[in-house]
Amino acid sequence: MADRYLSFVASRSGALLARRLGLPRPVRLRRHEPGAPPVPGPVALGHTENARAVKPLRAVLDSLGAAVEPDPVRPHALLFDATDITSTAQLAELHAYFHPRVRSLAPCGRVLVLGTPPEAAATPGEAAAQRALEGFVRSLGKELRDGSTAHLLLIAPGAEDALESTVRFALSARSAYVSGQVLRLAPGGAAAAEPADRDRPLAGRTALVTGAARGIGSVVAEVLHRDGARVVCLDVPGQAEELTAVAGRLGGTALALDITAEDAGRRIEDHLREDHDGGLDILVHNAGITRDKTLARMSADRWQAVLGVNLIAVERLTEALLPALRDGGRIVATSSISGIAGNVGQTNYAASKAGLIGLVQALAPAVAARGITVNAVAPGFIETRMTAAVPLLIRQAGRRMNSLGQGGQPVDVAEAVAYFASPGTGAVTGQVLRVCGQALLGA
């Protein structure tokens, strides 16, 4: 369903009225378009005296074709390398850099701060200073206007050369609905060689997407196909017609089955063996259901149905398909901000989505030796047929209660999945990325 308020304030008369009444004035976000430059305007780059990531960061900016200028008039991005801040007194350098520049940021601009994981700090003072970066970035993200966003990238010592994929995502329109979030780069997860075609980094890889017949799942399949992957589209038999249409449009294959079935793993393996040489590179757990009721009114059937699809089946399928997943593979699960912050009437759903986060965090180190990464996306309010059925006032609250003042699009979730699926994102694992416009709920 269209966001009529967003359309209204985007008009000249609507913007004027909203300004006079002090109403929120969200702007239409700039999203990725094939062929568009990843960094559409000049960027400013600041750093402390001994910042350890500034050289590799500058190399990444050059590879992205970004024009780095000392003080551009309307910068697309403001970047600051704070990796060597070792005392709380040095935090004044953040203020000194951003205070005179932040108002000049172009619409749909980006702020990117680079830091060091606090747990890698040598002293309590350094840990305090580096943890302070998180509060700074989350707050700045809520102050930015005109569709601009802020990101914090924590780079463990030894991971400086794995910046490219994450910086590309953070600075580009692919991260339009992600703000105020923290991503960590760990050593030992070396990025793969740069793809021959940066616009098709998944060329030659096979991806399986569950729940692919419609909604977010179908768009995830489309984006992975756009990036070069061969896609296996999976959904329940009741969605077979829509599923076949999606797979046909993408030149992929359709597999209609219930993921809660005892033989689901075996049947997927058989399909991969028959149509995809038996191998799998990307496993996207997107299928999910809701059966909302307050706990006092929730039947055992409602509870078990949601846990069965959203969590238990994911755990079983992952275990069954790990042998088929090639070294360097990617597993991405779809969690939810409900699994982080909870939600009235969703004890079953929130439990399942929080369980996925636990699964991701525990599985990541267990498969790291094979170069496999395991991550999760946590969508907020996304404009789908499901949210279109939400009562009007609740729907409007869901759209406005975030820093960007609007609901996200399925493609926003899909872009985050594609980022995690990229061969260059090998240094990022065991993490949860919220795709929620920096919702006011949760962290």
Does residue 201 sit within a domain?
Answer: no
Q: What is the pLDDT of residues 388-417, one digit of tens each?
A: 666 666 777 777 888 999 999 999 999 999
Q: Are both 329 and 395 inside the same structural domain?
A: yes
Answer yes or no: is pLDDT of 176 > 80. Answer: yes
Helix axes 313-321, 347-367, angle to 10 degrees: 20
Q: Are residues 244 and 167 in the same domain?
A: no
Alpha-carbon gap, residue 24 to 238, rounded angstroms? 41
The verdict on 216 and 78 lying in the same domain is no
Give a yes or no: residue 7 inside a domain: no
DSSP state of 308: I
Same structural domain, 64 and 109:
yes
Q: Which residue has the higher pLDDT, 377 or 19?
A: 377
Structural domain count of the chain: 2
Q: Are residues 140 and 216 in the same domain?
A: no
Please indicate whether residue 349 is annotated as part of the active site: yes
Which residue type sits at 1? M
Residue range 20-74, pLDDT digits in tens: 766 677 788 999 998 899 999 999 999 999 999 999 999 999 999 999 999 999 9
* 379 part of a folded domain: yes
Domain-located, residue 54: yes
Question: Do residues 144 and 230 share a domain?
Answer: no
Please indicate, yes or no, if residue 233 is contained in any of the structural domains: yes
Verify that 180 and 264 share a domain, yes or no.
Answer: no
Residues 43 and 143 reside in one and the same domain: yes
Confidence class of residue 189 from pLDDT cuts 50, 70 and 90?
A: low
Residues 159 and 250 in one domain: no
More confident residue, 436 or 196: 436
What confidence tens digit (pLDDT) does each residue in 337-349 have?
A: 999 999 899 999 9
Of the residues 185, 220, 244, the one at which a domain ends: 185
CA 285 – CA 301 distance, rounded (Å): 22
Q: How far apart are CA 76 and CA 244, in angstroms?
A: 41
| 8 Å CB contact between 14 and 20 | no
> Is residue 17 scored above 90 in pLDDT?
no
132-173 per-position pLDDT tens digit: 999 999 999 999 999 999 999 999 999 999 999 999 999 999
- pLDDT one-digit tens code per residue, 244-257: 999 999 999 999 99
* Residue finishing a domain among 152, 185, 218: 185
Domain boundary among 153, 185, 217: 185
CA count, 13 A, side-chain hemisphere, 402: 32
Supply the pLDDT for residue 58: 97
Structure tokens at 304: 């078990």
Residues 38 and 113 in one domain: yes
Average the pLDDT over 88-95 and give the result. 97
Quick count: other Cβ atoms within 10 Å of Cβ 439? 24
Domain with 393, as residue range(s), is: 206-435
Q: List the catalytic residue out of 97, 177, 349, 419.
A: 349
**Residue 5 scores a pLDDT above 80:** no
**9 belongs to a structural domain:** no
Least confident of 85-94, 273-282, 425-434: 273-282
219 with 275, same domain? yes
Does 399 map to a domain? Answer: yes
Residue 288 has which token pair? 């999910």
Contact 360, 368 (CB under 8 A): no
- 342 found inside a domain: yes
- 199: pLDDT confidence band, cut at 50, 70 and 90? confident
Query: Within its chain, how far is the Cα of 251 from the centroid?
Result: 25
> 270 and 214, same structural domain?
yes
Average pLDDT, the chain: 93
Q: In angstroms, rounded to a whole number, what is the distance separating the alpha carbons of residues 257 and 198?
A: 34
Cβ atoms of 340 and 434 closer than 8 Å: yes
Burial class (CB in 10 A: 0-12, 13-18, 19+), 11: exposed
Q: Tell whether the torsion through CA atoms of 80, 82, 88 and 90 is positive or negative.
A: negative
Percent above pLDDT 90 for the chain:
83
Residue 443, pLDDT score:
56
Check which CATH number belongs to the domain holding 323 and give it. Answer: 3.40.50.720
pLDDT of residue 393: 66
Instruction: Assess whether pLDDT exceeds 80 at residue 218.
Output: yes
